[in-house]
Chains A and B, each alone.
Chain A
Amino acid sequence: MKPMQRLLQLPVSAVNLIKPLCQEETKSPVLTSEGGQQNWYNAVQPDELKLLKASPEPEHQGEEPTEPGQTQPIRHDDLKEMLDSNKDSLKLEAMKRIVAMIARGKNASELFPAVVKNVACKNIEVKKLVYVYLVRYAEEQQDLALLSISTFQRGLKDPNQLIRASALRVLSSIRVTIIVPIMMLAIKEAASDMSPYVRKTAAHAIPKLYSLDQDQKDQLIEVIEKLLADKTTLVAGSVVMAFEEVCPERIDLIHKNYRKLCNLLIDVEEWGQVVIINMLTRYARTQFLNPNQNESLLEENPEKAFYGSDEEESKQGEMDAAVLPKRKPYVMDPDHRLLLRNTKPLLQSRNAAVVMAVAQLYFHLAPKAEVGVIAKALVRLLRSHSEVQFVVLQNVASMSIKRRGMFEPHLKSFYIRSTDPTQIKVLKLEVLTNLASETNISTILREFQTYIKSQDKDFVAATIQAIGRCATNIDEVRDTCLNGLVQLLSNRDELVVAESVVVIKKLLQMQPSQHSDIIRHMAKLIDNIMVPMARASILWLIGEYCEHVPTIAPDVLRKMAKSFTNEEDIVKLQITNLAAKLYLTNSKQTKLLTQYVLNLAKYDQNYDIRDRARFIRQLIVPTEKSGVLSKYAKKLFLAQKPAPVLESSFKDRDHFQLGSLSHLLNSKAGGYQELPDWPESAPDPSVRNVEVSEWTKPIGREKRKEKVEKPFYSDSEGESEPTESADSQSPTASESESMSEIESESGSENDEESDEETKSDKERKKKAGKEKSKKQDESEDSGQSEGEEKTVKKHKEEEESSSSSSSSSEESSSESSSSESESEGDSELDTGKKSRKTLSTAKPPPRPLETKQKEISLLDLDDFSSPTTFQSSPSPNTLPKSLNLDLQGLTLTDTTLLSEVSSPLLGGVKTYELLHRITGEGLSVEYYFNRRPFSPDHTMVSVQMQFTNNSEMEFRNLRIAEPKLQSGMRLQGFKEIAILQPGEVTADTLGIDFCDSTQAANFQLCSQTRQFYMSIQPPVGELMMPVFMTENTFKKEQEQLLNPSAGKLMGMNEIKEKLTLPEKCRSDQAIVQKVLSTANLGRVPCGLDNEYRFAARTISGGALVLVTLVTKEGGAAQLTINCEKMVIGTMMVKDIMQALTQ
């Protein structure tokens, strides 16, 4: 702890202290050591000089290598002087030259003290280059590196998120053991930073610290656990990477985040996707059942027959048969399905690594029938650069053994071009061979025929082997192949012939009796073929089948005996073998020859051959000493030998996770995580259940489904909107927090929060008090975000004064709001659909045919609605005056986002009819309150309108006209709908400021020809927006409402009502759901089990509405509503009572 404290106390003005210190250092013998200079000097190359020419000082001393000692200091003084100067431009120039030195692999470590001073430089480019330098040399000069630490610590508190992030990045990259505690602290702090970018950097820092000090593992795992819970896409990839590096075995950390990761996956950046997919593959292997467990027995057997030996096969068959009846019919876990479904679109990624990752995931996890989808994508990758091609082909080769059918349609894509590099050719050949079957073998063989003529001889050899494999695997073509190979024996190229001989040998072994002429032909070849392996093969063949060629064999032996001494070892061994075999079958003719060969072998230089000779002599030549064995010599030598199995070198390679380095090398690489086998029985799937972060629990499943149904991007806009607006908000928030006071506040808050989180985690594990703790957390969050909102307001002025921050915040806000309005179209439609569905299920559908039709047209509508919403929302860029409004809007959207997702699902969204299709002469209008802020004006209630044209003719120029409103009420219409085709459905949003009253808003809807009178009367519950507050704030606010003297609020109002809850709505969920569907309230966490609290503010007046519901035994309950507006309070009581007691 001591060094750390010391470092922490390093004064901020450390830079001043460095100066004298540095001068000392430069004098110190260590830094000016001769060796170092020499080194540096000698390394100067002409290249280097070119670069240095630009410098103001003449640098040509380098050309006089005779006086290194003299020239060296000059250069350094020069660079040091530049670094010490006040001008940033000089410093920059010096740093650029230093970095160029590093790039050339030159030692620039002597400059360390001069460089490290500039770590606090204001110029950001200088700073960056200093960082580059520090990362490179800090490990060598640990003591001096410590001087820079305080600057980083200051950087970690900088209001600019980029600076915070880069400070953390460099701090964690400096490999100095002494600062490990500081790093740990910095990472922990950054992990709860406002900015997701900083959190991402924190995740990156984790493996760096881990590699520096493994003892920190436990603490780091805590940070990882926290970051895993992060909801932003930016962080997800990085934290999983950290997880894989630090604690890949802690699979339990993933459970809670599994579904979130699956759903976020599509929006994560490409590199993050790769890491996440790989991790999820491993995860799924431990958590789910093998989807192919039943099919595998039936379908894979015929394929295995090609490769596996019979015995194995039958054994396995028995085993499987025994297991089969015990197994239950397989049902895929919904989470398993979720993973497969969410990764599938990524096959369309432009990034080969992502496609490869998805492909391996499907290969390892998907049911057999579904694996096929990856083939197309993999074939596409073959068009990529040859390095990528190589990796992909390796994996395809492995896959094609297991799942041949998958690539069969793409057979031609693996045809070989003469321009392919050899290793690609060989891999393609491998794939072609794996794909060969009875049906396509003829085309493949024809293709092989052209390959054999290639000039690339290695490739030709590989082709011949491939032909051999095809011949062994497919009986029908064995003779054709053999004939072809025999023809190759007359090839001019020796390598080709040799390879053919080797392959023929293997083929003949399968059915020797019919091929004595081939053997005879080969015997003739022995004179010409010089390749040892081929010679050996021929000799072995003749020896093995000497009975088929009784006349030729002794003659061959005679020739070989002649040339014995000049042969290679492998050939000599085969000659002795041949001699022994001939002696046993035809001792009359070959006795002398054999003796001669054995004698030659006895005095050979190679001990293997001498050994063999002795062994054979003992066995075959009967002497008095020779034992029982010689009786069996014939059996020993001429036993039936099993035919060799020609199999792919890629067989069984798939026990390595595809796409991994280990798979590529076919041996376990360091750091490889084994892909576990499927579990026999699935572990408890409930571990992945997450308490839904929204208000009520049962939504979880539905919501997940909904998210899943919306694939890839268009939905991701709607879906990821929360993250986005939260993101774009955070820079503003953090920037506004330039005051250190606030920052420390928020920091401590964060700490508290994290404490609570960990606590609640424990609770969760105990499975006690589940929901409550989560809700507390959640509201804590929301409370905090509300706090932020306030601070934003407070510091509005400051912000506006500092132009840069305000402009950037404006930018971000405008961006988010524009994309928001865009996505609104989509999601609104979704809710529209949903509400329609709920309606039709609730009541018996009056016109089933028509509703169906509507739904179809709703889907089509997607196309047209987005442009209209675009036009209707005024471009935020044109509203600079409303910066502050925008900010409010941002935070508002932020808080309501949660409700946005869940509220339609509560089933409480009622659609009201505004214009019946009969009165409207075919035009029907429906509306509902979509409970989101009306973006142009936040004091208005947003009403989602839906126009349907049920008539035969089109409606033109639909618009709002002549609003007849009560005083104070305002209405903002939608943009004129130019044309509504028959059957078309259009949606748009209307904003109405009801002035917190339930008076109806009357207006006319005009079409080209007609006018319709309409009136919208809001239920009281829709006049408000949820407010998130903590229990304490809630109580405080309630106090204030009750005692007007204490607070500044004018009115005092509390309405109490007793009620009895019916049987079916006594559960937590039911109550919450009923209340929330009646009114747009926000849930407030509450310590007691039997108490429910909700809060909201009226939209136009901003008056607080506090609702408390206390349940007692037997269904009795008391409802209390505090609101300064009497009317609203009374009406709310009525509405909620009705909802609860119904």
Chain B
Amino acid sequence: MLMAGIGFVLLPEFERSQLSECSSSTVAMLMEFPLEFHRFEDYFGTCSEVAIKDNVVVVYEVLEEMLDNGFPLATESNILKELIRPPTILRTVVNTITGSTNVGDHLPTGQLSVVPWRRTGVRYANNEAYFDVVEEIDAIIDKSGSTVFAEIQGVIDACVKLTGMPDLTLSFTNPRLLDDVSFHPCVRFKRWESERILSFIPPDGNFRLLSYHVSSQNLVAIPVYVKHNITFRDGSSMGRFEITVGPKQTMGKMVEGTVVTSQLPKVVLNMNLTSTQGNYTFDPVTKILSWDIGKINPQKLPSLKGSMSLQAGTPKPDENPNINIQFKIQQLAISGLKVNRLDMYGEKYKPFKGIKYMTKAGKFQVRT
């Protein structure tokens, strides 16, 4: 949707720049660069078509800095923000009064330094650094409930608001878990190679420090299970539908934000279900069933039962619908990854440090 939005607004300009240059740049680059447009989220809060339309001038100004003749010029958000300051209500007011502009008139210092991701002269009254360890479980569960494929992908997102030029080190109690990692450019690769410590001068604000993959040799704990009984009968215009979701291997944590979705076959006309917990919706046009459960109570398992009305006279579908599940578990990294300590060097003050763990379902699919 984002791409479509931008395409819609900026197409006249775009045909000149990025897309006609295919020959010299690689396809991966072409595909990757538009992803940089999430920068606009930094600017406008959300990145919707409306936001872009409303701020079309800022978009132009930013694009002008991001691209030169179709070649990416500066994509580091800190640099862009120094060149073109994000529009805020306060700044608009100040600008109208003082006549100053949103456009910086000096080359951002980051552009020339070896730490282009960090602005100089950052000041905060409260110095804080928050790290979110978020792990996603990608899994395919068999009809019988056995795991066909499961892996854990994790990221560490950081929100660092520290004065000056802090130098942080973050160490894990069990770094061997991490099989494949990709870093924000600020992370010193050598330290990681030799000591398995993340050492870095952080960018200012929000950024993704690290994304990792937990080695597939480890057995992945699957925190939920699904009991399902979906049948279509030949000849009859009714089918039965029954799902129960329950927690397993959650290390004593609560499974929250559970949503079950399923794409039902085209022959299903409508569904008449009752749920013990949460609400369900069925869209008869797209044939998508969505059941919002919320927290799973281990004592009283949520279930959804009922009948489906099928199109008369059509044969029953070959395949039962797949079930996709989303859930969240707070304060748990399912791989067992744990941050040991965070130290800061280079600045005198004592920062406030916080680390949060979370496990989510990634592409979690149950075949039925």
Contacts and interface: CB of A to CB of B under 8 A. Distances in A.
Contact of B101 (A51, A125, A659, A670): A125
A713 interface: yes
Nearest to B73: A204
A99 B71 CA distance: 22
B72 A245 contact: no
Label chain B's interface by main secondary structure: mixed
A391 B27 contact: yes
B120 A867 contact: no
A1097 B30 CA distance: 54
Contact of B190 (A125, A710, A720): A710
Nearest to B143: A450
Contacts of B10: 103
Interface stretch (B242-250, B272-280, B313-321): B313-321
A82 B15 CA distance: 31
B265 A455 contact: yes
Contacts of B33: 271, 353
Contacts of A208: 69
B319 A455 contact: yes
Label chain A's interface by main secondary structure: helix
Given A201-B68, A245-B24, A353-B29, A492 B105 contact: no
B183 interface: yes
Contacts of A721: 114
B153 A241 contact: no
Contact of A713 (B76, B151, B164, B187): B187
B114 A716 contact: yes
B71 A204 contact: yes
Interface string B11-27: 11100000000111111
A271 B199 CA distance: 24
A954 interface: no
Contact of B111 (A197, A207, A418): A197
A88 interface: yes
A811 B106 CA distance: 13
Interface stretch (B52-60, B222-230, B293-301, B334-342): B52-60
Given A380-B213, A713-B189, A863 B363 contact: no
A123 B100 CA distance: 8
Given A100-B57, A714-B190, A353 B114 contact: no
Interface string A704-738: 00000011111111001101100110110000000
A579 interface: no
B170 interface: no
Contacts of B266: 455
B41 interface: no
A207 B23 CA distance: 13
A381 to B, nearest CB: 9
A351 B25 CA distance: 14
A903 interface: no
A669 B24 CA distance: 10
Nearest to A412: B149
Contacts of A447: 148
Interface in A162-217: 162-163, 165, 169, 173, 195-197, 201, 204, 207-208
Interface stretch (A382-390, A640-648, A918-926): A382-390
B180 A417 contact: no
B171 to A, nearest CB: 10
A85 interface: no
Given A132-B64, A724-B114, A161 B26 contact: no
Contact of A669 (B22, B188, B189): B22
A1108 interface: no
Contact of B28 (A267, A353, A713): A353
B267 to A, nearest CB: 10
Interface in B60-77: 60-61, 64, 68-69, 71-73, 75-76
A309 B56 CA distance: 59
A421 to B, nearest CB: 13
A129 interface: yes
Contacts of A715: 190
Name, among B69, B112, B115, B120, the residue most crowded by chain A CB atoms within 10 Å (CB to CB). Answer: B112
B233 interface: no
B109 A717 contact: no
Contact of A47 (B25, B53, B138): B53
A103 B56 contact: yes
A1102 interface: no
B26 A356 contact: yes
B109 A811 contact: yes
Contact of B61 (A128, A173, A390, A723): A128
Q: Which interface class (under 10, 10 to 19, 20 to 34, 35 or more) fits B?
A: 35 or more
Contacts of B283: none
Interface string B110-141: 01111110001100000000000000001010
Nearest to A357: B26
B322 interface: yes
A173 B17 CA distance: 11
A819 interface: yes
B199 to A, nearest CB: 7
A271 B75 contact: yes
Contact of B27 (A89, A244, A380, A659): A659
Interface stretch (A342-350, A425-433, A843-851, A970-978): A342-350
Contact of B182 (A349, A388, A391): A349
Q: Which interface class (under 10, 10 to 19, 20 to 34, 35 or more) fits A?
A: 35 or more
Interface in A605-627: none
Contacts of B112: 195-197, 234, 724, 727-728, 730-731, 812
Name, among B60, B69, B120, B265, the residue most crowded by chain A CB atoms within 10 Å (CB to CB). Answer: B69
Contact of A380 (B22, B35, B96, B180): B180
Contacts of A99: 56-57, 60
Name, among B27, B28, B199, the residue most crowded by chain A CB atoms within 10 Å (CB to CB). Answer: B28
Contact of A271 (B71, B164, B194, B213): B71
A353 B75 CA distance: 14
A99 B140 CA distance: 50
A161 B108 CA distance: 11
B99 A88 contact: yes
A663 B72 CA distance: 22
B140 A103 contact: no
Given A455-B319, A731-B107, A818-B165, A238 B71 contact: yes
Contacts of B363: 417, 419
A254 interface: no
Contacts of A812: 109, 112-113, 120
A413 B153 CA distance: 12
B345 A866 contact: yes
A915 to B, nearest CB: 28
A968 interface: no
B163 to A, nearest CB: 11
B191 interface: yes
Contact of A102 (B12, B30, B102): B12
B189 A711 contact: yes
A221 interface: no
B5 interface: no
Given A100-B57, A103-B9, A415-B140, A92 B179 contact: no
A154 interface: no
Given A103-B12, A124-B103, A391 B28 contact: yes
A454 B32 CA distance: 31
6 contacts: A160-B105, A197-B111, A275-B24, A352-B28, A380-B180, A388-B32
Given A664-B27, A712-B193, A714-B191, 9 more contacts: A89-B96, A125-B61, A196-B112, A275-B24, A345-B189, A348-B181, A387-B31, A418-B322, A727-B113
Instruction: Please list the 4 inter-chain residue pairs (A to B) with the smallest Cβ-Cβ separation, ordered nearest first.
Output: A671-B23, A712-B189, A125-B101, A453-B319
Interface of B: 9-13, 22-35, 53, 56-57, 59-61, 64, 68-69, 71-73, 75-76, 96, 99, 101-107, 109, 111-116, 120-121, 138, 140, 148-149, 151, 153, 164-165, 167, 179-191, 193-195, 197, 199, 208, 211, 213, 216, 263, 265-266, 315, 317-319, 322, 324, 345-346, 363, 365, 367
